[in-house]
Structures are given as C-alpha cells and as structure tokens.
Amino acid sequence: MSQPLYDRAVEILARNDLGYYTVPTHGLYPFQWNWDSALSALGQSYVNEARAWTEIETLFVHQWPDGMVPHIIFHKEDDGYFPGPAVWDTGRAVPTSGITQPPVTGFAVRKLYERARDQPMARARAQTLLPKIHAWHDWFFATRDPERTGLVAIIHPWESGRDNSADWNAALSRVPTEDLDTSHRRDILHANPSHRPTNEQYQRYFWLVKHFRSLGWDTARLHDGSPFRVVDPGFNAILLRSCSDLAWLAKELGETEIAATAKTQAEKGLAAMDGLWSALHQQYLCYDRVLDAPIPCLTVGGLLPIFAGISPERSTQIAARLSALAERTTFMIPSHDPNTPEYDGERYWLGPTWLIVNYMIADGLTRDGHIDIAARIVTDSMKLIVESGFSEYYDPMTGAPCGGPHFTWTAAMVIEFLKQTGSVT
Ligand code: GLC
C-alpha cells in the first residue's frame, strides 16, 4: 500500500512543479510561497535532489537587500489570486509580497545536506545558501525585536502561516475593516467559503497591506508602525530551530563566525521562550506586544516549541498536553483545541489538522524521546491521506478533506513520513 501512496505524492510534486519553483496547488495558490517551498524541498530531495536545492535557491534569488525573504514571489501573472502584485506594489523587478513567513529554510537545508546522496553538490549549494539564510535571521532580530528580547514579532497574520488562527483575533480587532470590496476575493472561488477566513478578516488583512505600503515597505519601520505586533511561539520555534540547525551547518562548513552568532541567537531565544509558558494551560501562549499581555488562546502555535529544542521538563509537559488532545481527537493534531468555543473543525487554522505541523511536532517529539505520541501523530497523518487524499488540511474529527486539493507540501510530508518509517525504500 505504501508504494502507490509514494507514487501519488511524487505525481503531485510533478504536477505543481514549474521548473524552478513549485506552486502549493494550482488555482488557489498560483505563485511561490516561502515556507511551502522550504518544506516541499524535503520531500523533493528523495525524488530529485538537485531540484530540491533549486526550490530553496529560487526563494533566495528574491531575497530583499535588507535580508527579508518575502512570503510570496509572483513569478508569473495570474489574476486568480487576490491580493496580487499591483496591490502589494513593493517595487521589486519580479514582484513579491512585502511581509515574510516562518523561516524554516535553515532546518530544511540542514536536512538536505545531511541526507545528500551527492555530497559535493550539497556542500557547494549549502555553502552558498548559508550566508543568505543567516542574513534573513539577522534581519528578523534587527527589525522584529527592537528591544532585543530574543524573540521576534509578526506584523500580519499571514506571516505566521496560520492565517486565521484565533490567536490573532484580539490584536486584529484593532485593525480597521474599511475599504475592501470583498468581491475581489478569489480564494472563495477555488475553495469552500466555510473552510476559509471571513470577509471581515480579509478586510483587516488588506488594511494592513495598504498600511505597510503607505510606509514605503521600509521594513525597519513596519514593526513599530503596525497596530498588529504579536510574538508567536510557533513562529519563533521555527526561527530558533533554524538558527540551531544553521549553527550546526556553519560549523560543518567551517564558517565559524556564522556558527557562533546563530548559536547565540538560538540560545537567547530559547531562554526567552520560557517567558511564554502558561502553567495554567500547560502550553505556550502568544504575546501581544501592543498591549504587553499574553493571549490566552489554545492553538497549535503553543505546542510547536517542541520543534525548537526546549528543556526536558517543558518537552514532557508538551508531550502530555498532546496525549490529552489525542484522547479526544480522531486525527491528530487539531490546530485549535476542540474543547474551546472558537474551534471550527473545517475552517482553516481554527481546528483543522495540517500535515506540515504534524511533521514538525513529530520531529521534536521523536528527538526528545516521546516515541508513542510521535507514532500516533504519524499514523493519523497517513490515515488521513489514505481516507481523504492529499488535501490542504483535514477535519480532525471526521477526517474530511478541506481547502485546496493536490497539495504540494502535504505530498512532500507523505514522502517524508514514508521514508522515515521505512515504508518505502
Ligand atoms: C495559506 C496557509 C499558509 C500557506 C499558504 C500557501 O495561506 O495558511 O500557511 O503558506 O496558504 O499554501
């Protein structure tokens, strides 16, 4: 049974491959997305190693001079997506958005390097990417952590990768809704509207884009200029894991200065992360930098720090919290705790299960020795694929497929799981 699944996953990667970048899925997301590409390169590395490196290199061709790597690169025109390049108007030769996404490339590049069959190629390509990824991390700490706390803020829900999470509701309510005729929305033409964000949320997302545009896309001004500034433990976990992995890679490649800085960034951030721990909820919480207060919302963002390399005590607590969730969930891991009023099993990040999150959390659990709960997450992930195909996300109770079909990073994660469990060789 495993080989046909593997073959189907490979077919999906090919279907969405435009030569030097891969779209998340045709129609709904017709451009290159930042963390989709980094995670998809993992699956691709088993299929075509050289092509996997290219996926990440293409992202960095479009890195901004200040170090930021944008969340979307609009390689070709496509009016099936809104807001397109004309709305962002960031002034780049190949248009890009002006915000970023979870920086998972440091992690992905280490993996690509470690598993490389072609070691000389991996060495050369990793060596070239290394300073670019490091510049992106430095950009984060310089512009998104002006008070040098060790943790960075996101300034738009889209940066988190968990677009409509309830984590953002309170902070987003400070953002005006005016001025968007929501008939411009294209996402609800491609996917069921009840699986997508609401019109009101779209208006606020749009307002933020226009506001940043009015600040001239000067990324040094956007943090302080944004009414939305949230420290997301999930986002920071990904950044800090990438810093640690980059430190490892830099040491391996003899880049001692990068290695030392990246290690310090990871250590400082991990120490600060503990300040987001909630003893009451037994998980991490987001923090609203404008209000200077935690956001008491039970989302998977607060469980992702297990990916970063937290203390054994916290790791055991997160494993216990996941085991408790597993008792009341059919398909782990719900993106929002089903026992809370905001939960909606089909609406995007308000409940649905996402394979990329499962992959990162299972990775942390396995590294920390929480084997049983990690195995449950992997088994559930594979069951979803068998029952519901390669969807964007799934209802954690019914397993129903939600969002877009033929999804690239879902296929990539299936390849990862099949390889990890030795189900295919
Ligand atoms: C949605 C997801 C985001 C992803 C993008 C492309 O916006 O929330 O995480 O990167 O789709 O797949």
**Three-state SS at 299:** strand
Q: Is residue 425 part of a domain?
A: no
Given ligand 1 and candidates 22, 25, 33, 359, which is best to mutate, with the most ligand atoms within 8 Å of its CB?
A: 33
How many Cβ atoms from other residues are within 10 Å of residue 179's Cβ?
9
Domain that holds residue 286: 2-420
| pLDDT for residue 413 | 98
In the chain (425 residues long), the average pLDDT of successive 10-residue segments reads: 95 98 96 98 98 98 98 95 95 98 98 98 98 98 98 98 97 86 86 90 93 97 98 99 98 98 98 98 98 98 98 98 98 98 97 98 98 98 98 98 97 98 93
Find tokens 């099949």 and name the residue: 418
Residue 352 lies in a domain: yes
Q: How far is the CA of 28 from the centre of ligand 1 (A)?
A: 10
Structure token digits, residue 207: 């307002």
In a domain, 42, yes or no: yes
What's 416's domain CATH number?
Answer: 1.50.10.10
| pTM assigned to the model | 0.98
3-state secondary structure 20-52: CCECCECCCECCEEHHHHHHHHHHHHHHCHHHH
Residue of 163, 167, 186 to test ligand 1 pocket, by largest number of atoms within 8 Å of CB: 163
Looking at the CA of residue 348, tell me the nearest atom of ligand 1.
8
Which candidate in 57, 78, 89, 163 is catalytic?
A: 163
Would you state the pLDDT for residue 182? 78
Q: Would 379 be classed as within a structural domain?
A: yes
Reply yes or no on whether 147 is catalytic.
Answer: no
Whether residue 138 lies inside any domain: the answer is yes
Does some domain include residue 339? yes
- The two structure tokens encoding residue 33: 């997305």
Does residue 29 line the site of ligand 1, with CB under 6 A? Answer: yes
Distance, CA of 292 to CA of 230 (rounded, Å): 10
Cα 8 to ligand 1 centroid, rounded to whole Å: 22
Contact 240, 273 (CB under 8 A): yes
Measured in angstroms, how far is the CA atom of residue 260 from the centroid of ligand 1? 32
Q: Note whether residue 31 is domain-resident.
A: yes
Q: What is the dihedral angle through the alpha carbons of 403, 407, 409, 412, rounded to the nearest 10 degrees?
A: 140
Domain count, the chain: 1
CA of 37 to the centre of ligand 1 (A): 11
For residue 24 and ligand 1, the question of a CB distance below 6 A is answered with yes
* Separation of alpha carbons 300 and 317, rounded Å: 14
Indicate the helix (H) or strand (E) that contains 295: strand 293-295
Q: For residue 404, which atom of ligand 1 is closest to its CA?
A: 12
**Active site (annotated) includes residue 363:** no
> 74: how many CB neighbours lie within 10 A of its CB?
22
Q: Within a domain: residue 299?
A: yes
pLDDT at 106: 98
Residue nearest (by alpha carbon) to ligand 1 atom 12: 24
Determine contact, residues 126/248, Cβ cutoff 8 Å.
no
Ligand 1 centre to CA of 161 (Å) is: 6
What are φ and ψ of residue 407, in 5° steps? -90, 130
Q: Which of 21, 36, 37 most suits a substitution to test ligand 1, by most atoms within 8 Å of the C-beta?
A: 36
